Structure 1
Amino acid sequence: MVRSQNDRGGTASDETEALRIDKWLWFARFFKSRSLASQFCGAGRVRIAGNIVGKASHMVRVEDILTFPLRDRVRVIKIVALGSRRGPAREAVLLYEDLSPETVKPTGDSDSTAGVAEREPGSGRPTKRERRHLDRLREN
């Protein structure tokens, strides 16, 4: 016997559309492959509305809020659309709204000095630049 959606106890309009979380993360281009997304979800590193997701087969819906660490920051994502395929990046950004707090970049001339501690000149061990300067003075 073939069952229609109406035979399952609800109408098609009553049931909300859903998609596996690993598939959605792959569609939205947070991961290069679906297997990486699946491993990430299986490790319990994704939260939906504050609840830890333990399986890649967990279903997500529009309006769900996902929280997960990715690279060097924590991402807070609101699902806007489910998507039907893994399309180009321009299409992928339409699937979500990024609610992540903005990361504050250190003030400075370049990003190459990011994370370098400031100290008073002449205090502590000399830097490489100071050492070279001292070597030049000693040569003269």
Structure 2
Amino acid sequence: MPKRDAVFPANRHALYDVHQYSAAIRSGDLLFVSGQVGSREDGSPEPVFEAQVRRAFANLRAVLTAAGCSLDDVIDVTTFHTDPQAQLDAVLAVRAAEIGEPPYPNWTAVGVTWLAGFDFEIKVIARIPSRDESTDYRAR
């Protein structure tokens, strides 16, 4: 079995080392991104919820970029929320700004009781575009 093809962003935060996981794993033309939280570089949570969600998306974009992808390449999203009812409006506002226009990726939101000190986490699966295809493969 081949070794895992791990992907890390250029300025990776401390949580990858503290919790011993890869930011993402490349498998063929798919990228499986670990849950990204709104952590600062030292691994501590962003204290304001909406800012934490924005930082989680920024951390996600950094991982996607390191693999040669963008949010346009995301096909499946799972988000985790510690208080979905109270947090939904803020998450939807950030999501609308980050994800953009249709067609949207699949999305599953899950309410949880614990996220290691965080209140929001986002994990995705993305298709890694080949070097010779156009940037918008969905138009085909």
TM-score in same-fold range (> 0.5): no
Larger RCO (CA under 8 A, 6+ residues apart): 2
* Bigger radius of gyration: 1
TM bracket, shorter-chain basis: under 0.3
More strand by share: 2
Q: TM-score, normalised by structure 1?
A: 0.28
